[in-house]
């Protein structure tokens, strides 16, 4: 949106001038219920706007200075500064209220405005549940959206206390950062918060269902609450959620040596949430897809637990102590990611002690992909303004940063790391910091100079590749062993230079055990790798093992390659590794080689089919399902694609029939089969399973699995509106609405595509979650010819959409509708022409350039697959 940006220079100038004491925010949400089930951008029955009154007290360093406060609102009625009325028409423009003639010392500002409910997941989101026709509200303020609800100095280093007073419809509940008070005449008056940043304040309002408990230990008592919509209450497994939460409280308070810093801890599962969750102080909001309506695999519970722990870690790192500016966003997110995984791995009683396997398999794969895009950047990214930060919630910020933190822990020592963190929390509680504050604390506790480490790992972009170089004699005895480090050229358009970095890694030597048939580690050598070539004399004179695995135990952040002999053995025995982590590392290496056109897609498929049946980790299995489908559809030689899809789909059906009844693997294979079912016989089976005329022992074709089948049948033209509408009647819920929208958009007809395009591009009425569902159905990889006309249409509209829609809505469209399935030089040419002539801003340019990079990579992979010998 025009006028909503804020530069770092402006924020620094404002922080130098102002210190904020308190906000009093009075909101009248009594009309929020409105007139029914409207899902448009303007809710019915007066629900489009609400009255917002903000009183803010702040101190000014310079008499007569001028500054501004942020506000995104349709109407400003009153602006009163130090008792003087200012004309809103003169001082309110471009989402800012000018504050002229400030007084040295204390100033008081009062702003009365009408703010707007949203359906985009930004600001105060309003959702109407089709089950009970009740409205449900929640706020989402990160990065700059508190200003959509109240006038605020919208930057993280201007902390203050916040007191909310909310008038709500009778019978509703209001939850905020402070403990929930008893309402009087439907007015809820909350106690002021501690000093926190604007972006972690929160309000959740509506007739929510709740379950309550208490965390108690050593005299400490913290009220716990879990909330969701009543229509989801029957699925809310609150005991499991409380169990993970208590494990987190125990582990974090011990490691941080700092008691939980807020008065209560609520977790609220809210509808149409754009992210996984948000760390509002004491009132964490979580996407309500984590309230599972149907059977899911254990991997889904593991991901939910990591999300719960990630947000809990933020209560200390992010909320108690907050970065000064968004250039340290990576540290905030990386710390929460690292500690949440470490908690899962180490907390007594955890269900997921192998969480580092999941991290290697999913998070690091995300990081490696992000680090090879033209938008790659140092972990410490240059954040010039809010536009920069809005697109910087990426794989480098979360996953690469967490990987490097893991490496830092190994470098300084775990005990020393957490002692430094403890000192950091005590020194900066309820304040703001920079990276140097944390590194300084770690230098104190570890005795290590971290300046060189920081420069090499945090201030450079790109990824290193490690390869073993092994020589043996005629008896198979190692005569020379070295590790070669490469720093590939950064992608075109990326800033910086390739960098060789210091790595602390382990080398694992694996042999096949004759008794068990498992690949077991015979020996492990840990060493520092630095420079282009590092000798490993410890391995000279040893017999060459079946498999040599670099970066065993996943200590460092680097792409790893297997030598030719190890790769050949792993191709036959990947599923035989005794431990899950080396399996995950080899799977990840094979996938990366496929993406880098070093391994043909047909050979990757053969590798997966040879080992996936022995893979016990369900999260790895599901990742392989997604990766194989993507590889065949985008990276395979187009002339071989159908044969490879047939081979894969036949395998998914065979694994489905062979899987243990009612197991996680059976469910995962059912979903994989449904995703590519193609022959008349396979599609007949999907229909029969839906109708109940055929069954597979143990497979419960429940609500979510039914939708998977329906969506595939719609995409191949078997199901049309009547069947989709009938399925929606079975599941007349918000989730059902989204699934039906996906199914309708996936139909293989020009009319269905035109309708979906119109809903998303030509109208702005779809809520964020429904728009995402429509886009997901619109883009079908086996409908390339049908989608071809939309390439030109995309480039005609994407800039105007970016300029006119909210960030979340515009980003969904810019990324989701990019013609990624049109893998051709023509797509590259049209993208380049648009990048040259359209003059997009930096954020939009980045997103389109990233999508272009995917097409370029796919072309290279297709060429490699076409050149590979057929089996």
Instruction: Give the domain CATH number at 105.
Output: 2.60.40.1730
One domain, residues 244 and 177: no
Band of residue 622 on the pLDDT scale cut at 50, 70, 90: very high
Q: Are residues 824 and 854 in the same domain?
A: yes
Residues 219 and 275 reside in one and the same domain: yes
* 405 and 271 part of one domain: yes
- Residues shown for the chain: 871
252 part of a folded domain: yes
Q: Which of 142, 272, 302, 311 is catalytic?
A: 311
User: From start to end of 320-464, where are the E strands?
Assistant: 322-323, 432-433
Name the residue among 367, 389, 374, 395 with its Cα closest to residue 850. Answer: 374
In a domain, 586, yes or no: no
DSSP H or E run through 305: helix 298-314
Provide the pairing of β-strand 67-70 with 503-512: unpaired
Nearest to 141 by CA among 129, 128, 156: 156
pLDDT single digits (tens) 627-663: 999 999 999 999 999 999 999 999 999 999 999 999 9
Buried b / exposed e across 311-329, counting CB within 10 Å, b at 16+?
Answer: bbbbbbbbbbbbbbbbbbb
765 belongs to the catalytic site: no
Residues 213 and 159 in one domain: no
Q: Sign (positive/negative) of CA torsion 249, 253, 259, 260?
A: negative
254 and 384 in one domain? yes
CA gap 232, 577 in Å, rounded: 41
* Domain assignment of residue 238, yes or no: yes
Q: In the chain, what is the greatest distance between 2 CA atoms, to the nearest angstrom?
A: 92
Q: How many CB atoms lie within 10 A of CB 660?
A: 10
Preceding amide of 143 cis, omega within 30: yes
Shared domain for 133 and 233, answered yes or no, is no
Which of 187, 202, 217 represents a domain boundary (last residue)?
202
Mean pLDDT, to the nearest integer, of 214-219?
A: 96
Residue 414: Cβ within 10 Å count: 12
Residues 306-327 have a mean pLDDT of: 97
Given a cut of 60, whether residue 30 has pLDDT beyond it is yes
The CA distance from 29 to 53, in Å, is 12
Render pLDDT for 684-733 as a digit per residue (tens, 0 to 9).
999 999 999 999 999 999 999 999 999 999 999 999 999 999 999 999 99
Residue 40 inside a domain? The answer is: yes
Encoded tokens for 838: 């359209």
- pTM for this structure? 0.96
Cα separation, 222 vs 661, whole angstroms: 42
Residue pair 622/299 in contact by the 8 Å Cβ criterion: yes
**What 3-state class would DSSP assign to 603?**
helix
In 3D, which of 441, 448, 456 has the Cα closest to residue 412? Answer: 448
Distance of CA 653 to the CA centre of its chain: 31
Spatial separation of the C-alpha atoms in residues 37 and 47, rounded to whole Å: 11
**40 pLDDT higher than 50:** no
In a domain, 792, yes or no: yes
Please say if the pLDDT value at position 775 is more than 70. Answer: yes
Question: 119 with 218, same domain?
Answer: no
- Residue closest to 671 by CA, chosen among 654, 657, 652: 652
At 44, the pLDDT band (50, 70, 90 cuts) reads very low
Q: Other CB atoms closer than 10 Å to residue 563's CB: what's the count? A: 15
The H or E element spanning position 107 is strand 105-116
Can you give the CATH number for the domain in which 421 is found? 1.10.390.10
Query: What is the predicted pLDDT for the residue at 3?
Result: 62
Exposure of 76 by Cβ count < 10 A (0-12 exposed, 13-18 middle, 19+ buried)? buried
Are residues 332 and 420 both part of a single domain?
Answer: yes
Domain boundary among 151, 180, 202: 202
Contact 689, 695 (CB under 8 A): yes
In angstroms, the CA 627 to CA 688 distance is 28
Structural tokens at position 111: 């702003």
Q: Which residue has the tokens 């590749």?
A: 465
Do 412 and 442 form a contact (C-beta atoms < 8 A)?
A: yes
Closest CA to 521 of 530, 529, 512: 512
Instruction: Work out the burial of residue 182: count CB atoms within 10 Å of its CB; fewer than 13 is exposed, 13-18 middle, 19 or more buried.
Output: exposed
Report the domain count for the chain: 3
- A 10 A CB-CB count for 640 gives 19
Alpha carbons 785 and 854: distance in angstroms, whole number: 19
Give domain status of residue 551, yes or no: no
- Name the CA radius of gyration of the chain, rounded: 28
Query: Would residue 112 be called left, alpha or beta, if left means φ above 0 and alpha means ψ between -120 and 50 degrees?
Result: beta
Tens digit of each residue's pLDDT (9 = 90 or more) over 369-422: 999 999 999 998 888 999 888 888 889 989 999 999 998 998 899 999 999 999
415 within a domain of the structure (yes/no): yes
**pLDDT 10s digits, 825-862:** 999 999 999 999 999 999 999 999 999 999 999 999 99
Both 178 and 222 in one domain: the answer is no
Same domain, 191 and 221: no
**Residues 523-574 pLDDT 10s:** 999 999 999 999 999 999 999 999 999 999 999 999 999 999 999 999 999 9
Segments forming the whole domain that contains residue 30: 1-202
* Inside any domain, residue 642: no
End residue of a domain, out of 170, 187, 202: 202
| Same domain as 134, residue 254 | no
248 contacts 216 by C-beta, under 8 angstroms: no
């Amino acid at each position: 949106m025009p006028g909503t940006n804020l530069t770092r220079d402006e924020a620094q100038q404002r922080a130098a001038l102002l210190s904020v004491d308190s906000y009093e925010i009075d909101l009248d949400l009594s009309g929020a219920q409105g007139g029914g089930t409207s899902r448009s951008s303007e809710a019915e029955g007066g629900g489009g706007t609400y009255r917002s009154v903000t009183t803010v007290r702040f101190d000014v360093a310079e008499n007569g200075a001028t500054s501004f406060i942020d506000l995104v609102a349709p109407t400003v009625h009153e602006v009163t500064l130090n008792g003087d009325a200012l004309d809103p028409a003169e001082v309110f423009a471009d989402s800012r209220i000018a504050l002229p003639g400030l007084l040295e010392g204390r100033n008081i500002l009062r702003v009365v405005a009408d703010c707007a409910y949203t359906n985009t997941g930004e600001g105060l989101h309003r959702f109407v549940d089709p089950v009970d026709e009740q409205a449900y509200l929640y706020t989402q303020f990160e990065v700059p959206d508190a200003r959509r609800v109240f006038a605020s100095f919208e930057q993280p280093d201007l902390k203050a206390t916040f007191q909310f007073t909310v008038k709500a419809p009778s019978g509703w509940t209001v939850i905020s950062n402070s403990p929930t008070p008893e309402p009087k005449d439907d007015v809820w008056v909350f106690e002021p918060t501690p000093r926190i940043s604007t972006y972690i304040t929160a309000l959740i309002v509506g007739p929510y269902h709740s379950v309550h408990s208490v965390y108690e230990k050593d005299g400490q008592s913290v009220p716990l609450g879990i909330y969701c919509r009543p229509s989801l209450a029957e699925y809310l497994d609150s005991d499991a959620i409380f169990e993970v939460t208590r494990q987190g409280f125990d582990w974090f308070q011990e490691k941080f040596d700092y008691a939980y810093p807020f008065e209560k801890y609520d977790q609220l599962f809210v509808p149409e949430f754009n992210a996984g969750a948000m760390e509002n102080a004491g009132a964490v909001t979580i996407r309500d897809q984590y309230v599972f309506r149907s059977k899911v695999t254990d991997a889904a519970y593991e991901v939910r637990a990591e999300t719960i722990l990630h947000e809990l870690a933020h209560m200390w790192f992010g909320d108690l102590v907050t970065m000064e500016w968004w250039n340290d966003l990576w540290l905030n997110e990386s710390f929460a990611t690292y500690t949440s995984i470490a908690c899962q791995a180490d907390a007594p009683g955890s269900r997921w002690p192998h969480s580092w396997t999941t991290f290697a398999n999913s998070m690091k794969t995300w990081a490696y992909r992000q680090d090879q895009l033209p938008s790659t950047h140092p972990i410490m990214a240059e954040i010039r303004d809010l536009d920069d930060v809005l697109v910087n919630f990426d794989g480098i910020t979360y996953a690469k940063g967490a990987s490097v933190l893991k490496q830092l822990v190994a470098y300084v020592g775990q005990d020393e790391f957490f002692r430094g963190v403890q000192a950091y929390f005590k020194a900066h509680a309820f304040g703001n910091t920079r990276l140097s504050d944390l590194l300084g604390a770690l230098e104190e506790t570890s005795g290590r100079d971290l300046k060189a480490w920081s420069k090499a790992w945090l201030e450079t972009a790109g990824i290193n590749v490690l390869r073993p170089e092994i020589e043996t004699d005629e008896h198979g005895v190692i005569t020379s062993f070295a590790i070669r480090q490469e720093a590939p050229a950064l992608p075109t358009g990326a800033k910086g230079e390739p960098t060789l970095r210091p790595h602390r890694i382990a080398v694992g030597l694996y042999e096949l055990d004759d008794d068990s048939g498992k690949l077991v580690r015979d020996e492990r050598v840990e060493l520092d790798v630095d420079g282009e070539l590092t000798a490993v004399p410890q391995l000279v004179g040893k017999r060459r093992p079946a498999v040599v695995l670099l970066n065993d135990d996943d200590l460092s952040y680097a792409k790893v390659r297997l030598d030719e002999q190890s790769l050949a053995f792993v191709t036959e025995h990947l599923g035989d590794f005794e431990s899950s982590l080396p399996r995950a590392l080899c799977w990840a290496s094979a996938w990366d080689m496929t993406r880098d056109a070093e391994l043909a897609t047909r050979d990757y498929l053969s590798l997966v089919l040879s080992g996936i049946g022995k893979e016990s980790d369900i999260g790895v299995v599901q990742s392989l399902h997604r990766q194989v489908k993507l590889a065949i559809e985008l990276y395979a030689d187009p002339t071989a694609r159908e044969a490879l899809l047939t081979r894969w789909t036949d395998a998914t059906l065979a694994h489905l029939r062979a899987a243990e009844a009612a197991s996680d693997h059976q469910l995962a294979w059912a979903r994989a089969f449904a995703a590519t079912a193609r022959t008349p016989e396979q599609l007949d089976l999907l229909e029969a399973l839906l109708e109940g005329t055929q069954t597979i022992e143990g497979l419960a074709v429940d609500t979510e699995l039914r939708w998977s089948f329906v969506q595939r049948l719609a995409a191949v033209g078997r199901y049309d509106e009547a069947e989709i509408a009938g399925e929606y009647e079975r599941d007349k819920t918000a989730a059902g609405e989204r699934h039906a929208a996906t199914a309708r958009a996936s139909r293989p007809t020009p009319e269905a595509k035109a309708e979906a395009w119109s809903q998303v591009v030509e109208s702005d009425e779809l809520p964020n979650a429904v728009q995402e569902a429509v886009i997901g159905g619109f883009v079908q990889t086996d409908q390339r010819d049908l989608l071809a006309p939309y390439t030109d249409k995309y480039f005609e509209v994407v800039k105007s959409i970016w300029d006119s829609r909210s960030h979340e809505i515009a980003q969904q469209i810019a990324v989701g509708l990019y013609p990624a399935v049109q893998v051709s030089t023509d797509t590259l040419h049209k993208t380049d022409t648009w990048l040259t002539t359209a003059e997009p801003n930096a954020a939009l340019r980045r997103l389109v350039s990233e999508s272009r990079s995917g097409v370029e990579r796919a072309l290279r992979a297709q060429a490699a697959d076409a050149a590979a010998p057929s089996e």
